[in-house]
Copies of this chain bind each other. A is one copy, B any other.
Amino acid sequence: MSETYSKLMKYLDKSTALETALVLFQWDSETLAPEKSMELTAKSIGILSSEYYNSLINEDVKSLLAKLGEEKEQEQLDFNQKAIVKKLRKTYEEMEHIPPEEYQAYQELIAKAPGIWTKAKQEHNYPVFAPYLEEIMDYNKKFAGYRVKEGQNLYDVLLNDYEEGFNTKQLDEFFGKVKSAIVPLLKEVVKKNDRIKKEFNYQSFDTEKQKQFCSFISQYVGFDLSKGVIAESAHPFTTKLHNQDVRITNHFFEDNLESAIFSVIHETGHALYEMNVDSAITLSPVGTGASMGMHESQSRFFENIVGRSKSFWIPIFSKLKDTFPEQLKDITLDSFIKGINKSVPNLIRTDADELTYSLHIIIRYEIEKMIFAGEAKITELPDIWNQKYKEYLGVVPPSDSEGILQDIHWACGNIGYFPSYAIGSAIAAQIYYHMVSIMPFCQYLEEGNLAPIREYLKEHIHKYGATKNTNEILMDMMNEPLNPDYYVRYLTEKYTKLYEFCTVKSSKKK
């Protein structure tokens, strides 16, 4: 190993250890820690966070990274080491230009803002949150300004943090295509909406039984309990200490059957990605998904393309009926599949179906762009939001709590993050058309044999972690970068044909 690289390793190992501790604190606070714990625990978390920052941002690391950029050093690095150095340099560049006192003030702001947001949302009181939102946006503009490149716009700097190589120009084209296809399609779908019955989903379902079924289906999809944990939290999420310890959560509602089932399949998709990252890189800065969008592609692939297909349910629908024999006694597989795919425009992103989901994202993307371009004042956002919901989805929030205050993301400082959700859906569709062209995809599902599907994803996506970026992965896998046409095709095929059939069709069968 290069001597310079092994010096760098010392810092990396320390930062990984601290990051692992911070992940565990976060997990614990969302799943288990008692109500009154956080005030004191936050003090330790603050100290460890600052140790983490200092372990990466310091003069030693700076000069090691500079040295590792030299040609004769590069020659000594293998593929993974190069990727680690590259990723570290990116993190370094994101952080080093921010003056420490501004970083500290911003950290305090985004530690406080989610509490204010929660209060504002509870009280339907946007003006309480607006000054914080303005400050958060201003900091993000300022921070982006420190590292914006010639000819780049500020918002692109943030987009690039979440999706390397993506910018407004591409996303405008991407969302333009999606919007022009979905908005009219949705209008057609909505007209026929009441043909699909979904009442079965809203009966009373014992949550202990839901829990057992969700544990079963997560393992059926591929979750390995010897390397993972399933717990509960207010909002489902996935996290990991490393590839041998991947954790997901779920939530249960007695009056909604599909919520927990599709949440756990979604999180299992994320979890498979993390469990399959190569062991050589798991405890390193590239030991996670390639990007937010790539990660979301895996969760959505399993949740929607696999999980909402008829083929997937053929081997296991009887198990669900056995779990809830009374509630589902008159429900056929076909009526179940139609029910879980029913599209109804609504106000809440996290409750959205596949067809309307991207419209929720487009609205947020357009608003973020307007803010960064100085085309919208913070005080005007509620009206802009409501107007766009009316135009794209045909619904209007009764209050700002269902409108501009809907998501926690901005309060946490996640700006430029929403587009990744839509990119994920688009990647999932593209992967799907690729996979049905090379393997008997449906047949595997119908046989309850998900291993070849998982194995393919592992070999072409998961194992690389973040050593390759999104487009590199897609190019290596199918010789084509992200192409939104597949996503449009998928939604159009699925939702124009929904009332005739709802299965995943493979173009080839062995």
Q: Do A241 and B40 touch across chains, with their CB atoms under 8 A apart? A: yes
Answer yes or no: A146 CB below 8 A from chain B CBs.
no
Chain A contact residues: over half helix, strand or loop, or mixed?
helix
Answer yes or no: A21 CB below 8 A from chain B CBs.
yes
A112, B279: Cα distance in complex, Å: 23
Cβ-closest chain B residue relative to A21: B21
Answer yes or no: A245 CB below 8 A from chain B CBs.
yes
Contacts of A44 in B (CB 8 A): 16-17, 20-21, 241, 283
A452, B241: Cα distance in complex, Å: 44
CB within 8 Å of B: which A126-146 residues? none
Given contacts A13-B47, A18-B48, contact A37 B241 (CB under 8 A): yes
A263, B18: Cα distance in complex, Å: 34
Q: Do A242 and B41 touch across chains, with their CB atoms under 8 A apart? A: yes
CB within 8 Å of B: which A260-309 residues? 282-283
State the Cβ distance, A36 to closest chain B Cβ, in Å: 5
List chain A positions with a Cβ less than 8 A from chain B. Answer: 13-14, 16-18, 20-21, 24-25, 28, 32-37, 39-41, 43-45, 47-48, 51, 225-229, 231, 241-245, 282-283
Contacts of A241 in B (CB 8 A): 37, 40-41, 44
Contacts of A36 in B (CB 8 A): 226-227, 244-245
Cβ-closest chain B residue relative to A49: B17
Tell which of A34, A36, A43, A241 has the most Cβ of chain B within 10 Å. Answer: A34
For the complex of A and B, 8 pairs with smallest distance between CB atoms: A17-B47, A37-B245, A17-B44, A21-B21, A20-B44, A40-B242, A36-B244, A35-B226
Contacts of A43 in B (CB 8 A): 13, 17, 283
Which of B24, B34, B228, B242 is the one whose CB lies under 8 Å from A24?
B24
Contacts of A20 in B (CB 8 A): 41, 44
Which of B40, B231, B243, B245 is the one whose CB lies under 8 Å from A283?
B40
Q: Do B229 and A47 touch across chains, with their CB atoms under 8 A apart? A: no
Contacts of A18 in B (CB 8 A): 48
- Taken together, the copies of this chain in the complex come to 2
Cβ-closest chain B residue relative to A16: B44
Q: Do A228 and B21 touch across chains, with their CB atoms under 8 A apart? A: no
State the Cβ distance, A223 to closest chain B Cβ, in Å: 11
Contacts of A229 in B (CB 8 A): 32-34
Given contacts A40-B242, A245-B40, contact A228 B283 (CB under 8 A): no
Tell which of A45, A51, A228, A245 has the most Cβ of chain B within 10 Å. Answer: A245
Q: Do A48 and B17 touch across chains, with their CB atoms under 8 A apart? A: yes
A47, B14: Cα distance in complex, Å: 7
Cβ-closest chain B residue relative to A39: B244
Contacts of A39 in B (CB 8 A): 244
Contacts of A228 in B (CB 8 A): 34
Which of B32, B35, B48, B244 is the one whose CB lies under 8 Å from A37?
B244
A45, B17: Cα distance in complex, Å: 7
Contacts of A13 in B (CB 8 A): 43, 47
Contacts of A51 in B (CB 8 A): 14, 17, 51
